[in-house]
Amino acid sequence: MLKGKCAIVTGASRGIGKAIALKLASLGANIVINYRSNEKEALEVESQIKDMGVETLCVKGDISKAEEALKLIASAKEKFGSIDIMVNNAGITKDTLILRMKEEDFDSVIDVNLKGVFNCLKAITPIMVKQKYGKIINLSSVVGISGNAGQVNYSASKAGVIGMTKSLAKEVGSRGINVNAVAPGYIETDMTEALSEKYKEEMKNNIPLKRLGTANDVAEVVAFLASESSNYVTGQVIQVDGGMLM
């Protein structure tokens, strides 16, 4: 399905990013694993991907810094020649009510979640325009649509990703490049593991499918957007939330 394609996944050492990297590899794509600090986990993902019989490359880099985003893209281009799929997944949270939120808490979340996506898009777009082909998938969140108490910074960053996705889709659609966003709801990851069981049950009761999502649920939708099956889909935000936000 993706045999011979090259896919970059930022924040691929764990959670949703790891699931996406493994899913795309299982479909035959060569994977560039980006991580910021979790080298041990990144190398474990690399080993799992190699076992699937595809090529992989690990690149350490903080994509909130333009020069490191450029290095990531350049390293992928040097090894694989072309870059067919770009998955902007890397993100952080620093949740608290605005009355307690420090300026650095706001800035750091915006820097990684929004500026980091911009840096990667800025670096990848010239390559895909020259190729006249590319699949860009940006990870947003349902809170970028609905907002959420205690997440002014995170919600702002994810809403910004949606605006950036739609704008870039209009800019590069004529060049054979699809740009879409995926907005997960409550997904079982390291971030949600800390939530109390009572809170999780309350969340499940508010979700029509009556369960929290999994990283694989998100990876399946990303795989669709990375494939030829989505060739006439661009500028869209696909919610993977079990019907929580309608």
For the segment 2-33, what is each residue's pLDDT rounded down to a tens digit? Answer: 999 999 999 999 999 999 999 999 999 999 99
- Is 108 annotated for ligand binding? no
- Is 133 annotated for ligand binding? no
35 is catalytic: no
pLDDT interval class at 191 (50, 70, 90) = low
Residue position matching structure tokens 């300026």: 103
Nearest to 7 by CA among 223, 238, 232: 223
Owning domain of residue 123? 6-239
Number of independent structural domains in the chain: 1
What is the pTM for the complete model shown?
Answer: 0.96
Q: How many CB atoms lie within 10 A of CB 123?
A: 24
Residue 238: predicted pLDDT: 98
- Kindly state the tokens that stand for 133: 């082909």
Asked if the structure places residue 110 within a domain, the reply is: yes
Asked if the structure places residue 1 within a domain, the reply is: no
- Is 155 annotated for ligand binding? yes
Asked if the structure places residue 38 within a domain, the reply is: yes
Pairing verdict, β 56-60 and 85-88: unpaired
CATH at 207: 3.40.50.720
- Kindly state the tokens that stand for 53: 């019989």
Q: Let me know: does 22 contact 219? Beta carbons within 8 Å.
A: yes
Q: CA 53 to CA 25: how far, in whole Å?
A: 9
- Is 21 annotated for ligand binding? no
Asked if the structure places residue 126 within a domain, the reply is: yes
Residue 39: predicted pLDDT: 93
Catalytic one of 154, 186, 199, 232? 154
